[in-house]
Structure 1
Amino acid sequence: MPPFRLLAAPVNDSALDVLVIGAGPAGSAAARHLALAGLRVQMVDAQPIGRDKVCGDGLIPDAHQALARLGLLDAVMARAQRAQAVGCIGPRGGRIDVPGALAVLPRQQLDELMARAALDAGAQFLQARFEEPLLDAQGQVLGARLRQGDQTQELRARWTLLATGAQPKALQAAGLCTRHTPSGVALRGYVRAPALVGQIRALEVVWNQAVRPGYGWIFPAPGGVFNIGVGVTDSHSALHGKGQKKDVNLRAIFDAFVAAYPPAQRLLAEGEWVGELKGAPLRCSLSGAQFSRPGLMVVGEAAGSTYSFTGEGIGKAMQTALLAADAILARHADEAATRAQYEAGLAELVPRYRLYERANRVNAFPWLADLLIWRARKSPRLLRRMSGVLEETSNPGNLVSLKGFARLFLE
């Protein structure tokens, strides 16, 4: 692969159209899309390209759609482990496989592939830490002040995109953080177990009392490796934007998940750890941050792009970034109209996030999963509706509403 194009010194003030802070899926998606359109784009990240990221690594249909739009789906799927279903397992051991176009690719590989694709499109990369935005006298963002070791430098750009993930520090520096604590937390590790290849084929999601109020998962990744983890949404209170962590011990939940789910026991007994268990915060439901200020837009998980209930966020992170990139391309010379277009695009997504918040009650009351699984095994129509939730053509909230429960016994 070609070497990275690094900038050792500040770019001339007039050189940049867009400065992208963060080189994960959101930042790389925006950078590639804008660079392909001919804009001068600079990506900045505190970590080198190809760094690890705590994630379930699942690529569901919305991620496939975003990757296809970026011209990267074939390249990703050539390296990913394909899957044909999400396996939903209830507290009593009942199971239903919900069909869908799915894949798993560790984030270290996905993020490197996407960042390199942005570079191939003409964007540049600088490893540096975001310190704060540069502002004019009216408060408009003109770029960012960055730190490399003991040195600071300033990069100016017509637009700055903040794609810095779930940690709140960058949002706080930009004056856009409205929730300092995360809305969820997750813990995951990788286990190599070649003997289980072909036996765990679906993206398995497990609900039971042991992991309440969260869920556990095992996802088959490439090379005989499995991603195993647990997640809890609504893990922190959010009084006045700060709040405190609730009584959630992720390691205890992980150990309880393994003890309660035989395939997880076998995976850890027969496999070998690849690295260590790592935890990370989640920002969900398009909440916790203002989405823009003059000259700057917030994209990806920094904007809360992860779904409550499922914890899935890769596809929506890219989608929000593409919304911002499209707004820049459509209204490049009109700052206010650009931000208005972006925020209108996010507003269209908000109702769906609210539905996922409603569906999140399954994590708090695992017996709801038992009921859904029991009925779906008897009702092809309900199974299609569950597949529609995965494909984003059905309403997830209706599955666990009073009306939805009534329909369970009529279908």
Structure 2
Amino acid sequence: MTAVPASYNLPPDQLPASCDVLVIGAGPAGTAAATTLARAGFDVVLVDQHSFPRDKICGDGLIPDAHKALQKLGALDEVMAVAQPAAHIGCIGPRGGRIDVPGTLAVLPRKELDFILLKNAVKHGVRMFAPVRFAAPIEEGGRVLGAQLKAGDSTHELRAGWTILATGAVPQALIAAGMSRRQTPSGVALRGYVKNDKMVGRIDKLEIIWHRAVSPGYGWIFPCRDGIFNIGVGIADSHGEARNGKLAKKEANLREIFDDFTRVYAPAKELVDGGEWTSPLKGAPLRCTLEGAQYSRPGLIVTGEAAGSTYSFSGEGIGKAMETGILAAEAVLAGRESTLDDATVRQRYEAGLLALKPRFDLYQRANKVNRHPWLADLLIWRAKKSERLLRRMSGVLNETSNPGNLVSMKGIVRLFTE
């Protein structure tokens, strides 16, 4: 393996004392924010608890919103040069019905995607330090002025005009920053990589499968390059039951659900039985629907999955993570260009998130398909007979159609009248 240039993992003992903006977390949200600010001339320090490249548990699907964000960041061409492109998402119902929904799609393992985004950030002047962990904010007069960072047994104080928290679904950083409103995740997912050259060409679309055996979740198989497939299962509302006023985990064993998935969906069984695991099954939490965290406080902005940027229905979060990271950066940038005060910068960012919130809420409504798989059968059956409905389903991918309307009572009635 080619050695990773030191500039992508600067040693913690070289951390500066100050910078314009400190971004904590080098996933899609963090690198999107860092790149946007560095291109505008900000002195940006980016830190992550892991050295890069590093693995990240994800479905790896890039839907149209991710393509748009990558284009805005100037990274789309490099990503698509190594990603596996696809022209459809295959939606498969419990009875085996299938409809292929067209869209601009691709698959790229997060280990590769996130490293490309990091390299793009560094190219634009971002300084990346790893492994470095966020310990606590530095506060004076009620405003965050940077962070205490941990590297091994050492603690370093880095002061910054703004601190952007992009630490993903694990809540420890949110708790330390006083920004957590819910410690439990919205959902959980389990995925692994299987190499099976015999399935190349047979599975050439992003496949999402609904079945009673995996309800209230879904299964997926996404084709990567070189005969490798991302296969997994997810539950988008795994912690939705209230007990004593707190969200509690529902009774669901993801490994058992995965085994049921490979039992009821023949291509999944064939893929696993005839293939070789290149990475074992690993689980991860999801934070969805722009809920579970306070968005900002003086001097501090929370973005990406830490702010709940993953869609509930589909579990897709890469595109919206980048989009929210860009929103955070643009708010800070507007503050400098227009000499806006802190409160106005925060209001600008939070208004951008709230403008996205109705779409997240609609995906939450559409999540009833996961709980009631027969709705998938109904949608697939009708879409085969209605070009208009297929266009609406494609519009959900392209964010031009309302996903909640497809499974509302009104929408179900329309299935029989269109």
Same fold (TM over 0.5): yes
Other-structure match for 1:196: 199
TM-score normalised by L of structure 1: 0.97
Residue pairs, 1:195-274, within 5 angstroms: 195-237=198-240, 239=242, 242-274=246-278
Matched residue type, 1:260 = V
The 2-side partners of 1:166 and 1:10 are apart by 26
- Per the alignment, in what secondary structure is the counterpart of residue 248 of structure 2? coil
Other-structure match for 1:154: 157
Residue 11 of structure 1, CA deviation: 1.5
Other-structure match for 1:90: 93
Residue 391 of structure 1, CA deviation: 0.3
Other-structure match for 2:129: 126
Q: Is 1:346 the counterpart of 2:353 in the alignment?
A: yes
Asked if the contact 1:206/1:216 (under 8 Å) is kept, the reply is: yes
Asked if the contact 2:20/2:162 (under 8 Å) is kept, the reply is: yes
Task: Give per-residue Cα distances to partners, 1:216-267, cap 9 Å, x unaligned.
Answer: 0000011110000000011013658843211010000000000000000110
Matched residue type, 1:249 = N
Other-structure match for 1:48: 51
Other-structure match for 1:68: 71
- Per the alignment, in what secondary structure is the counterpart of residue 246 of structure 1? coil
Question: Structure 2: which 5+ residue stretches go unaligned?
Answer: none
Asked if the contact 1:23/1:49 (under 8 Å) is kept, the reply is: no
The 1-side partners of 2:386 and 2:102 are apart by 14
The 2-side partners of 1:399 and 1:24 are apart by 32
Residue 195 of structure 1, CA deviation: 1.3
Other-structure match for 1:144: 147
Question: Structure 1: which 5+ residue stretches go unaligned?
Answer: none
Task: Give per-residue Cα distances to partners, 1:297-346, cap 9 Å, x unaligned.
Answer: 00000000000010000000000000011111111242111111000000
The 1-side partners of 2:169 and 2:32 are apart by 17
The 2-side partners of 1:376 and 1:237 are apart by 31
Task: Give per-residue Cα distances to partners, 1:17-69, cap 9 Å, x unaligned.
Answer: 11000000110111111111110000010001211110000000000000000
Other-structure match for 1:11: 16
Other-structure match for 2:310: 306
The 2-side partners of 1:2 and 1:250 are apart by 38
The 1-side partners of 2:250 and 2:212 are apart by 17
- Per the alignment, in what secondary structure is the counterpart of residue 228 of structure 1? strand
The 1-side partners of 2:192 and 2:181 are apart by 31
The 1-side partners of 2:134 and 2:371 are apart by 37
Asked if the contact 1:43/1:126 (under 8 Å) is kept, the reply is: yes
Residue 187 of structure 1, CA deviation: 0.0
- Per the alignment, in what secondary structure is the counterpart of residue 270 of structure 2? helix
Q: Is 1:380 the counterpart of 2:383 in the alignment?
A: no
- Which of the residues 374, 394, 398 maps onto 2:401? 394
Matched residue type, 2:364 = E
The 2-side partners of 1:228 and 1:175 are apart by 36
The 1-side partners of 2:109 and 2:410 are apart by 38
Other-structure match for 2:324: 320
Asked if the contact 1:88/1:204 (under 8 Å) is kept, the reply is: yes
The 2-side partners of 1:228 and 1:177 are apart by 31
Residue 192 of structure 1, CA deviation: 0.5
Deviates more, 1:201-210 or 1:332-341: 332-341
Give every structure 1 segment of 4 or more consecutive aligned residues whose post-TM-superposition deviation is greater than 4 Å: 238-242
TM-score normalised by L of structure 2: 0.96
**Pairwise CA RMSD:** 1.2
- Per the alignment, in what secondary structure is the counterpart of residue 369 of structure 1? helix
* Identity rate, percent: 63
Asked if the contact 1:180/1:242 (under 8 Å) is kept, the reply is: no
Residue 9 of structure 1, CA deviation: 3.4
Residue 81 of structure 1, CA deviation: 0.2
The 2-side partners of 1:149 and 1:100 are apart by 45
